[in-house]
């Protein structure tokens, strides 16, 4: 029979409850396009209404992002017939929404992700300590910095709205669809970022039309950003599949947004910064698999390719 995803897209679901590969890919693509399209709803509405402040504009975008995320969750719930699962907890676990192993889900991925930024961290620490005549004054100013972030709408976008909504749509919704369609976990890790990168194509529009950059410069900047988002998408999908909890990629996403692009070269570093950079890179790739062992984040591990075995519930 046929069903509809959030945007009006026809998909086919197998009789045993699983979803076909073409339908899963189509649904994921539709969710990605819908996520970006809905974000621009405030722009169209503002053209028909009185001007509002920049903060109010982004608040409207936050509401649109929340709406598109909720509709993507509803579409996934419908397509995978999750209503047949017993209890709300079982349904939420499909999306990686769990209350168990919270400490591991936060601390281990955060520590692992911070390794790749070890060189950047030492550079920023050195710069801040130099500009504030030492480390202690820098630490004392941390509460004021957090207070400024709490009042900054861009901070809310970068550290709260974007990480949560993007991870829910592009990991919690899309990965279960692709798993239930029969895609291998390795293929999913490399496939999901393709949809994730679509959600960042709007940056080209912002740079070219609103930022008034030249076409070539906007294309170059966005192309570099897309490469970064694809690499991060691989990592986030890897975390979600390996740990089975949505907290892990959300924490990594927030941290990466805060730190920005890591320093992948040591030409501008000296001494301790260079050692930290090299040690962080080696440590990250050494601990990537051991730190994401599924048994660290789950009470029970099955022989299924995914952590919850929901992809074999109908077999």
User: Annotated active-site positions, please?
Assistant: 166, 200
Rounded CA gap, 134 and 216, in Å? Answer: 42
The number of C-alpha atoms within 13 Å of 158 and in the hemisphere containing its C-beta is 13
SS3 182: coil
Rounded CA gap, 201 and 42, in Å? Answer: 17
Rounded CA gap, 20 and 8, in Å? Answer: 18
Name beta bridge partners: 216.
none
The number of C-alpha atoms within 13 Å of 165 and in the hemisphere containing its C-beta is 26
Q: Is the dihedral of CA 222, 227, 232, 238 positive or negative?
A: positive
Rounded CA gap, 306 and 179, in Å? Answer: 7
Rounded CA gap, 199 and 197, in Å? Answer: 5
SS3 11: strand
CB 13 within 8 A of CB 20: yes
């Amino acid at each position: 029979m046929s069903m509809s995803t959030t945007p009006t897209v026809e998909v086919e679901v197998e009789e045993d409850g699983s979803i076909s590969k073409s339908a899963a890919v189509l649904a994921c693509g539709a969710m990605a396009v819908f996520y970006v399209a809905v974000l621009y709803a405030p722009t169209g509405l503002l053209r028909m209404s009185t001007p509002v402040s920049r903060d109010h504009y982004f608040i409207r975008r936050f509401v649109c992002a929340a709406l598109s995320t909720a509709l993507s969750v509803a579409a996934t719930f419908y397509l995978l017939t999750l209503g047949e699962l017993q209890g709300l907890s079982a349904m939420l676990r499909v999306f990686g929404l769990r209350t168990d192993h919270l400490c591991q889900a936060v601390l281990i991925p955060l520590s692992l992700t911070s390794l790749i930024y070890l060189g950047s961290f030492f550079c920023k620490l050195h710069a801040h300590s130099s500009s504030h005549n030492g480390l202690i004054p820098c630490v004392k100013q941390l509460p004021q910095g957090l207070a400024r972030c709490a009042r900054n709408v861009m901070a809310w976008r970068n550290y709260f709205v974007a990480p949560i909504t993007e991870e829910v749509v592009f990991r919690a919704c899309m990965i279960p669809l692709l798993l239930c369609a029969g895609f291998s976990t390795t293929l999913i890790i490399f496939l999901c970022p393709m949809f994730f990168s679509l959600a960042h194509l709007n940056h080209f529009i912002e740079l070219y039309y609103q930022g008034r950059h030249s076409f070539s410069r906007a294309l170059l900047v966005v192309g570099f950003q897309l490469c970064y988002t694809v690499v991060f998408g691989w990592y986030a999908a890897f975390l979600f599949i390996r740990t089975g909890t949505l907290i892990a990629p959300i924490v990594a996403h927030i941290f990466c947004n805060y730190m920005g692009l890591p320093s992948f070269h040591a030409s501008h570093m000296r001494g301790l910064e260079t050692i930290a950079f090299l040690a962080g890179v080696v440590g990250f790739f050494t601990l990537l698999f051991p730190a994401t062992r599924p048994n660290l984040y789950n009470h029970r591990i099955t022989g299924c390719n995914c952590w919850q075995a929901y992809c074999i519930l109908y077999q």
